[in-house]
Structure 1
């Protein structure tokens, strides 16, 4: 079969051909190209509604791709340097869960940092695997979790030689990377697979002078959130596999949870974004780094704020830094990150990615403009001038080491009862508590609730963090495991 060029977009081309025909649709979706829902058509556009179609032979089937989706996935695998690529339309959450569930069964151990996204722990709740958590390093000045030290990984491997896999964040939300190459070498030496949550690392595959990507480091699987920094539509993602994995089995695992009605809008956006990255990625991410570096330099001149970057690298828990990330420490101006986040949105019409109790993150891309970068810098300067105060009393850390006393699945599905969070210290948590974004649990099922954690939750709520995870929508009560 003739090899396709990276300039091709098989799925996009098939959709365009389909759209050019005068097909009478007696299939779903019921809006019939927007004619059955004119408000939606006027809101999203006629083309969008016409291309929102269902699986059919000319357009292939995401659950069992044999033609244009298969070709689009093969081009994606080639572009990312992987042996296989799967289009994911349930978000990178589904890709992370597919990685864990493809490598672990009930009772199997998996080594992972505790500052993983909730999707990884959700996978443990579903499949019954047991986490061996590595506490990430902590930068005490910034209060943020870092990467995994190679020494800590080695100790976890030696203490749990029967573990099936190691999951690594590459990078963290803040832009911190572990020594992925060394971790892969260690894991493979001990017959363990390496799974990489690369939700924020699409650009590692296409930019120049970037931290190493999962596939280049020899990892076995990687979940890549194309919509975050790759330019595809929200909720679209790619799962990459190397030849160490049985791709047909991985596809079966994906199909356990992924929709059978894959969105062609999402899939075609992956196809188009892959082509764009292949053709223009170097220039796109060169521009992104220039924007981010300019913003860092100017923000650091303001005083108080600290836009951190590669100077944090220590060759271990901060092996490398993602220069596209504009991570800014705010506590020295007397404001929690979430307070700066809210002020930027409410007073200056600037929406950044997230704010936590000590930092903010602004996602920068080649789609930004100089004017918008200057608006952000100016707004931060004015916030400092108008709202700066004494930092006394501000929390100084984002991460609290967990005390895991029960498997997540056992705690989540076990008998539980509700207690006020303020009175929950000493209990075993039966659900999740987290700020979103970034979606890293403060508490996960099976962990002991401590006074430190209770105080953190109350503080985060007081500062205005958006809390999620508990059955109680007001985040006042928490389900804890009932003692037998």
Structure 2
């Protein structure tokens, strides 16, 4: 039997269920006995494995049994030294990586187009960001990866930095030259932390960008729930040889729940087994589907479903072919407008829309029929709504002016001002569109007219803006200086 066919947590849950153990522990619903509604909505089999930690089922905060074995199988499948099951999503894994690498006041080098979870980690631990501005593709209006030359300059100016943080890939499927970044970092005694929230498939598919573990990165977080088939909120943290796993476990336990869901952990167990055994075939199919969709959408005209042709061996070192990113500006609609119309008029929910693009996630659960519906809907949207596009914004990324660390700004004395009156002041909170959750402005950065104009435009087009105390974002909290 192939070791990867084993699912230790699932097997333990089945055995536990067979013993008909009387439960005088939590959860209080007692495997669905509390109310019929719970079973009607979630299903009997799901509710009946919602157990608490016990000796036969192990404990995720100090695994010595079936969870330990399941994590070892995960590490083996991903070619890592160790792995940890994360039930707080990849957000918790990103934060655990940064807490492991950096203490208060220490520097971390990272691209500014990181997910909010990374900057939230800096707010919590007090590490100081040294940003590398990503490249920008002005035609598509998107931020790219980091160029090696830019990273070298930043490393030379900040030799005391503890780590380099890398998106592998970005939300748009773009990858930096991770192998060279690892070589540069290790030469300068820095760790490499990879956010692979959208890169689970890199470990199993062919003709995809290099994975973080293969490139020699020290830590990586992977959202198996995004492209690997596990349940929402389940993720894994991977570590390589330069990192002390026992210390990482202590860091994880600072913020992880002491009641991790066996439903989520069993889904990680199942997804890992399926990927390890069938991943190559699964992602071969996914790539073929995405390439087919790109070709058909580009035939419609005015849309641009971009792919490997945008690679420039610099800030676009490689491209994730499973990503179906579509530039919409030339039909006269912002990406967020196409996103809304697809859902409201065609019952098609895609991952996100920004001011110029949409992203459709194609992964293990997709079928050709649904893909044809998306292609047909985009063709009809163009026919119904095409108009002049010259008035639309043509870029997404704005270089930040960093004045203070995120922690200092977030916990500073602050006051609220009208957004229009905030120019020149320092933000004490985040503003971001979610998804993708990349801050337009973060605590400690100067508010400019360009930022305000962008925020207003994004709101007008329908982007959901998050992060501010004022839910309507008419006001913003700024630092007392």
The two structures have a TM-score, normalised by structure 1, of: 0.99
Give the counterpart of 1:178 among 176, 179, 194.
176
Whole-angstrom CA distance in 2 between matches of 1:64 and 1:106 = 26
> Relative to structure 2, which stretch is displaced further, 181-190 or 360-369?
360-369
Q: CA deviation at 1:450?
A: 0.3
Where do residues 79-478 of structure 1 align in structure 2 (5 Å cutoff)? 79-478=77-476
SS in 2 for 1:418: strand
Counterpart-to-counterpart distance in 2, 1:366 and 1:193 = 32
Structure 1 residue 109: Cα displacement: 0.1
- For the 8 Å contact 1:4–1:75, the answer to whether it is kept is no
Aligned pairs for 1:67-86 (under 5 A) are: 67-86=65-84
Deviation at 1:4, TM superposition (A): 7.9
- Alpha-carbon deviation of 1:366? 3.4
Distance 1:283 1:181 in 2: 26
Is 2:229–2:365's contact at 8 Å kept on the other side of the alignment? no
- 1:422 Cα deviation from its structure 2 partner: 2.0
- Secondary structure of 1:196 counterpart: strand
Runs of 5+ unmatched residues, structure 2:
none
Contact 1:436–1:467 (CA under 8 A) maintained in structure 2: yes
SS at match of 2:326: strand
Residues in 2 aligned to 1:229 and 1:77: alpha-carbon distance in whole angstroms: 18
Q: How many Å separate the matches in 2 of 1:134 and 1:285?
A: 32
Any idea what SS the aligned residue of 1:384 has?
Answer: helix
TM (normalized to structure 2)?
0.99
Check conservation: 2:143, 2:397, Cα contact below 8 A. yes
Q: Is the partner of 1:73 in helix, strand or coil?
A: helix
Deviation of the 1:423 alpha carbon? 1.8
Partner Cα separation in structure 2 for residue 18 and residue 95 of structure 1: 29
Aligned partners of 1:76 and 1:274 also within 8 Å = yes
Correspondence for 1:6: 4
CA distances 1:432-452 after superposition (whole Å, capped 9, x unpaired): 000000000001000000000
Report the 3-state secondary structure (helix = DSSP H, G, I; strand = E; otherwise coil) of the residue aligned with 1:232: coil
Q: Distance in 1 between matches of 2:437 and 2:171?
A: 10
Q: In the TM superposition, what whole-angstrom CA distance separates every residue of 1:103-136 from its partner, at most 9, and x where no partner exists?
A: 1000000000000000000000000000000000
CA contact (8 A) 2:229 2:364 kept: no
Judge conservation of contact 1:292–1:325 (CA < 8 Å) in 2.
yes
Structure-2 separation of matches of 1:367 and 1:45: 20
Mapped partners of 1:191, 1:285: distance in 2: 35
Say whether the 8 Å CA contact 2:228–2:364 is kept in structure 1.
Answer: no
Structure 1: any 5+ residue segments left out of the alignment? none
Report deviation, 1:476: 1.2
